[in-house]
């Protein structure tokens, strides 16, 4: 199920390794600590407008969003054409790509197994925010 989690205004500092990690031959990194990194500085730019949401389903797999991923959603970002948004359609939350074309609004999956949802007259659509980051386990 979906879960909204408020953002706590606490720092979350972790070690940052200097340099870049090669994708080939491994290199010892213990002597390369550069500074400490606060993930909030990179993931939560607008704490008062940001919430987390856990993904359920595979409709956005083409956008790199998988079942169980954690989304960082920013309500201060403009929900414009082509952005991935959290929308409430007739009270049901969904994560989809927003498309605006020829006066129509569509919520599109990034998975060919799911049809686009055209917003029709009488349906209630609320955009809760724009997906700013995806936290995905590997």
Annotated catalytic sites, by residue? 59, 96
CA contacts within 13 A on the Cβ side of 83: 18
SS3 27: coil
* DSSP structural state of residue 32: G
CA 125/CA 62 separation, integer angstroms: 23
């Amino acid at each position: 199920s979906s879960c909204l989690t408020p953002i706590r205004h606490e720092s979350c500092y972790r070690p940052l390794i200097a340099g870049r990690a090669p994708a080939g031959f491994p290199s010892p990194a213990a002597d390369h600590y550069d500074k400490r990194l606060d993930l909030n500085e990179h993931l939560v730019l607008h704490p008062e407008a940001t919430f987390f949401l856990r993904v359920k389903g595979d409709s956005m797999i083409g956008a790199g969003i998988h079942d169980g991923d954690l989304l960082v959603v920013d309500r201060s970002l403009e929900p414009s054409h082509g952005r991935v948004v959290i929308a409430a359609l007739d009270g049901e939350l969904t994560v989809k790509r927003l498309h605006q074309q020829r006066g129509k609004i569509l919520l599109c999956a990034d998975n060919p197994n799911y049809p686009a949802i055209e917003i029709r007259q009488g349906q209630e659509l609320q955009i809760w925010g724009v997906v700013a980051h995806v936290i995905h386990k590997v």
